[in-house]
Amino acid sequence: MLTPQLTRRDGALFYENVALESVADRFGSPCYVYSRAAIEANFLAYVEGFAALNPLICYAVKANSNLSVLSILAEHGAGFDIVSMGELKRVIAAGGDPAKVIFSGVAKRAEEIEFALRQRIYCFNIESESELHRVNAVASEMGERARITFRINPDVDPKTHPYISTGLKSNKFGVAHGEALRLYRLAASMPGIEVHGIECHIGSQITELSPFVDALRRLLSLVDQLADRGIAIAHLDIGGGRGIVYDDEKLAPMSLFAEAVARELGDRNLKLLLEPGRSIVGDAGLLLTRVEFLKPGETKNFAIVDAGMNDLLRPTLYDAFHPVLSVQDHPGNALTYDVVGPVCESGDWLAKDRKLVLNEGDTLAVLCAGAYGMVMASNYNTRGRAAEVLIEDDEMHLVRERETFDDLIAHERIVK
Ligand SMILES: *Cc1c(COP(=O)(O)O)cnc(C)c1O
């Protein structure tokens, strides 16, 4: 499970050229740790894999919205896929270019639409007829025209976890494939709307190519039908959703993915957009946590650690697998443990049935926690959210301070 950035040297786990034990010593635990080199390598894999198509790669901010992460990607010319005004403000604060921002999400509020129009973002991805009317109304009021794409629900099965599959008829996302022609005609007739693109995003942690190809074909047939009706589409956005290796998943190589997309596009004159999130940051981050207690049980051994479901929700939310490693190898007998947190919920677990050699006080690294980790953290049980640290070669930088008790109660009032 080790990567080019994560290595073991004399039994000690290193991220780039920093010993992870020293990160926990300096910044405490639990603590999210990201590798700049890994983030850059993941982004460049898209740039290089898709070089022949020269796409706009819009990183999905919701996967990990730390300002330093956004800033690294902005430095490399990334665009951004946002789902709220807050995410747009983060992109701007991190030095990202609003002209490369696409605005997704099923419930954009009028003030969010107005703010995004004022920032001159690239495009709004429209998810319903009502939303089209709202965007038209806000843009018309401002004397503007909003560029739009419809997010099409292609009704394909991404073969992933039901909570992260988004392109089936039964999902809340996008407009039905069968409604698309009518909606594009309606949009083309609106004074505040400029029809620009077509988009789909069918789910997350997709490891096979066939769901992407199926969805792409459904979209391209619409592009051709729209062209026949005099509606020209300038860009095609195939969403995000590419998986990463958490365990033993077999991933279709990036080169094959890019080739398949190029083959389907053929000689159509379409600008390509991509919206990767997980595949940029997922394996570029980990969660450090310390073992508080070892608790032998009649049927199970528990390693009770200082990170819980409020820090990393994915295991209990999706039944997700994250590899767990000891930060410092030491001799001893491996036992099988459930790694569980301090939160008062039976669902508060990080890993099940792992063979580990553990002592109380040991530090563990929960791998592949860079995406949908910190962004889903909560203050449940009045626990401050973890610190975040960025590794750059042999340096460690605190990129988000651990929340204090004062932070947690800052907006509360006692009514007497
Ligand atoms: C979440 C999301 C993405 C990113 O998905 P990943 O699986 O993290 O790549 C892209 N586009 C939209 C519209 C999304 O909602």
Residue with the smallest CA separation from ligand 1 atom 3 is 240
Instruction: Identify whether residues 15 and 50 lie together within a single domain.
Output: no
Which atom of ligand 1 approaches the CA of 204 most closely? Answer: 7
Task: Measure 82 CA to ligand 1 centroid, in angstroms.
Answer: 9
Residue 102, classed as helix, strand or coil, is: strand
Note whether residue 416 is domain-resident.
no
Rounded to two decimals, the pTM is 0.96
Nearest-atom index, ligand 1, CA of 166: 15
Q: Which residues contact 36 (CB under 8 A, 6 or more apart)?
A: 16, 72, 390, 391, 392
First to last CA, the chain: 55
Do 24 and 56 belong to one domain?
A: no
Relative to the CA of 203, which ligand 1 atom is closest?
7
How many whole angstroms from 59 Cα to the centroid of ligand 1?
8
> Is 127 in the same domain as 263?
yes
Choose the final residue of a domain: 261, 278, 295. Answer: 278
Ligand 1 pocket test: which of 160, 238, 275 has the largest number of ligand atoms within 8 Å of its C-beta?
275
> 165 CA to middle of ligand 1, Å?
10
Atom of ligand 1 nearest to the CA of 164: 7
| Structural contact between residues 69 and 39, judged by C-beta atoms closer than 8 angstroms | yes
Asked whether the bond before 331 is cis by omega within 30 degrees of 0, the reply is: no
- For residue 112, the CA-to-ligand 1 centroid distance in Å is 19
Distance 305 CA to ligand 1 centre (A): 30
Domain boundary among 278, 313, 341: 278
Angle at 103 between CA 102 and CA 104, to 5 degrees: 115
Active site residues: 344
Q: 57, 58, 81, 152: which to mutate for ligand 1, most atoms within 8 A of CB?
A: 81
Q: Helix or strand or coil: residue 47?
A: helix
In the structure encoding, which two tokens stand for residue 122, read together? 């690239």
Q: Which domain holds residue 290?
A: 6-35+282-409
For residue 415, being part of any structural domain is answered with no
Same domain, 335 and 270: no
Per the structure, the count of domains in the chain is: 2
318: in domain: yes
Q: Which of 278, 312, 330 is the last residue of a domain?
A: 278
Q: How many angstroms separate the alpha carbon of residue 337 from the centre of ligand 1?
A: 33
- How far is CA 352 from each of CA 64, 246, 249, 287, 304, rounded to the nearest angstrom? 25, 14, 18, 16, 12
Looking at the fold, whether 90 and 234 belong to one and the same domain comes out as yes
Protein residues with CB under 6 Å of any ligand 1 atom: 60, 62-63, 81, 104, 201, 204, 239-242, 275-279
Q: What is the pLDDT of residue 164?
A: 64
Closest ligand 1 atom to residue 63 Cα is 8
Give rounded-to-5 percent helix, strand, coil for the chain.
Answer: 35, 25, 40
Helix count (H) and strand count (E) of the chain? 12, 21
> CA of 148: how far to CAs of 53, 113, 399, in Å?
22, 12, 35
Is 257 found in the same domain as 313?
A: no
Tens digits of pLDDT across the chain (416 residues):
688 999 999 999 999 999 999 999 999 999 999 999 999 999 999 999 999 999 999 999 999 999 999 999 999 999 999 999 999 999 999 999 999 999 999 999 999 999 999 999 999 999 999 999 999 999 999 999 999 999 999 888 777 766 666 766 767 788 999 999 999 999 999 999 999 999 999 999 999 999 999 999 999 999 999 999 999 999 999 999 999 999 999 999 999 999 999 999 999 999 999 999 999 999 999 999 999 999 998 888 999 999 999 999 999 999 999 999 999 999 999 999 999 999 999 899 999 999 999 999 999 999 999 999 999 999 999 999 999 999 999 999 999 999 999 999 999 999 99
211 within a domain of the structure (yes/no): yes
The tens digit of pLDDT for each residue in 265-280 reads 999 999 999 999 999 9
The CATH number of the domain where 299 resides is what?
2.40.37.10
In contact, 165 and 202? CB cutoff 8 Å: yes
Q: How far is CA 55 from CA 47, 216, 239, 263, 345, in A?
A: 8, 15, 12, 15, 45
